Structure 1
Amino acid sequence: MADKSSVTEPTSKQAAKAELKKLREQQKVDKKKRKTNKKAKGEGFFARIKQVFTMTRAHDPNIVWWMLLAALVTFAVAFVLVTLLLNWITGLLVATPFALLAAMIVMNRRAEKAAFARIEGRPGAAAAALNTLRRGWVVSEEPIAMDAKTQDAVFRVVGKPGVILVTEGPPARVKKMVEKTRKRLRPVLRNEVPIVVVQSGRAGNHQVPLPKLTKHLKKLDKKLTKHEVHEIERRLSALPISQPPIPKGVDPFRSRPDRKALRG
């Protein structure tokens, strides 16, 4: 009996040591993976900042000067205030991150304007701007009315101001399309829900430029509650949308006629 216990005891110790060794190796591998992931995330973050800066600078060459001005003014104000209250070392430590933050805010604002400037005037630009709306707004992904020839479109937004029809195209040309859309929605909404028409563009005095579109919608008078917004969207989602006479997902500018069908 003594021989059996002496044989099994070293074996169990060896197995425990082997398991411990495997566990340590696995921990080392996991640690290396975490380090690699952190580096990859850092590179991705700085790469995105570089990409945004390059895109913004191509449209706004003065972006560097605006960022420097914001950083210097913020640094000076924060440094003076903290130095007067505490000391100059603390002022330096506090003012530096605030200066960098101010420069980043300026870059983000300029980048947003540059992005809107690139897409303004193109079909679907209003939809791209409306998609920046956050909670409390329901935006239709596809236009609820569209003219295939002129590319004029009407997009639907549901929020606390009511049902908002955002048009894309000259006001005189989209007027008939808006009236048809209004008549189609009125039986579903009844008279309790206001229908507001907002014209996007820069041609007319009553049009709202693309960069100011979301701000204009947020400034409209609130008529509905959060619960009523969801209820109206539920009603409208059951309403069939008149699809434009082009296949979904096809770019109208790149679509070409079938030459074989034209020949007969």
Structure 2
Amino acid sequence: MASRSSAPDKGPGFFSQIRSLYTFTKAEFSWLPWVLVAVVVVGIGIGVLIGFLIPPAAIWSVILWGVTGLLFGLLGAMIVLTRLSTRAMYIKLDGMPGAAGHVLSTSLGRSWVASEMPVGVNPKTQDAVYRVIGRGGVVIVGEGARGRLSRLVNDEKMKVQRVASGVPINVLYIGHGEGDVPISKLSATIKSFPKKVDRTTMAAVVKRVDSVSQSVTSLPIPKGIDPMRARAPRPR
């Protein structure tokens, strides 16, 4: 009988995650290597310059400051890589069905309650409606053609109004047209809504809305996006 190992499977290491992050981002920004090298070189240059300017300008002081500049350059390169990977992720998600659910479930933090699954779906057109509840009230997010989303959005809005009277309800549409919100600015737009609901009321609204919400798990979910693959890997 084969012995079983009790050791848990180890996840990818730090350098493996950095390599995955770099590969993911470079696929969208081919100039990424040059930017990272430039950041590191600038960091070293600043460190060496400080070493010459601070007396006594001994060789050991210049080397020490050069190493310090190298470390800050590597840190700066990591920050640039992380921010560019986020931009690359939004570029890949833009226009893909299900992208709004991925952003809402990963980018809003604890002040908002959202699900990756839509609360309303049109199986034929793959148009979907998502609902977010937070201190800023209720936000209904439409993903798809605005004209086709009218019925889904109105149904969800009426459902919320029945159980959450007086709570602000905002409607956002994902897109690049007039009045639309790009997927890259979705989370920032939602977070910008003024806080008009206290935490107790927010919790009550979540329970009330969930109690009247119809499950859509049996409906076909829009295809075209695998959130696990679309998400930019981040180093731990």
1:99 lines up with 2:77 in the alignment: no
Q: Provide the aligned length of Structure 1 versus Structure 2.
A: 211
Equivalent runs, 1:245-260 vs 2, <5 Å: 246=219, 252=223
Q: Which residue of 2 aligns with 1:23?
A: none
- Which ranges in structure 1 are unaligned for 5 or more consecutive residues? 1-36, 254-264
How far apart, in 1, do the equivalents of 2:174 and 2:222 lie?
Answer: 21
Q: Which residue of 1 aligns with 2:231?
A: none
**SS state of the match for residue 113, structure 1?**
helix
Q: Which residue of 1 aligns with 2:85?
A: 111
Q: Which residue of 2 aligns with 1:33?
A: none
How far does residue 221 in structure 1 lie from its aligned partner after superposition? 1.8
Q: Which residue of 1 aligns with 2:169?
A: 195
The code of the aligned residue for 2:23 comes to T
TM-score (norm 1): 0.71
How far does residue 83 in structure 1 lie from its aligned partner after superposition? 5.8
How far apart, in 2, do the equivalents of 1:230 and 1:120 lie?
Answer: 31
Equivalent runs, 1:77-96 vs 2, <5 Å: 77=46, 79-81=48-50, 84=53, 87-96=61-70
Q: Which residue of 2 aligns with 1:232?
A: 205
Equivalent runs, 1:1-264 vs 2, <5 Å: 44-77=13-46, 79-81=48-50, 84=53, 87-132=61-106, 133-191=108-166, 193-202=167-176, 204-243=177-216, 246=219, 252=223
TM-score (norm 2): 0.78
How far does residue 81 in structure 1 lie from its aligned partner after superposition? 4.8
How far apart, in 2, do the equivalents of 1:76 and 1:169 lie?
Answer: 49
> CA RMSD of the aligned region, Å?
2.6
How far does residue 230 in structure 1 lie from its aligned partner after superposition? 2.3
Give the number of the structure whose alpha-carbon radius of gyration is greater. 1
How far does residue 242 in structure 1 lie from its aligned partner after superposition? 4.9
CA 150–93 in structure 1, closer or farther in 2 if over 3 Å, else same: same
Q: Deviations over 1:83-102 (max 9, x none)?
A: 64574344223222211111
Does the Cα contact within 8 Å between 2:159 and 2:209 map onto a contact in 1? no
From the two aligned structures, give the one with the greater helix fraction: 1
**SS state of the match for residue 182, structure 1?**
helix
Q: Larger relative CO (CA 8 A, sep 6+): 1 or 2?
A: 2
**SS state of the match for residue 125, structure 2?**
coil
CA 225–110 in structure 1, closer or farther in 2 if over 3 Å, else same: same
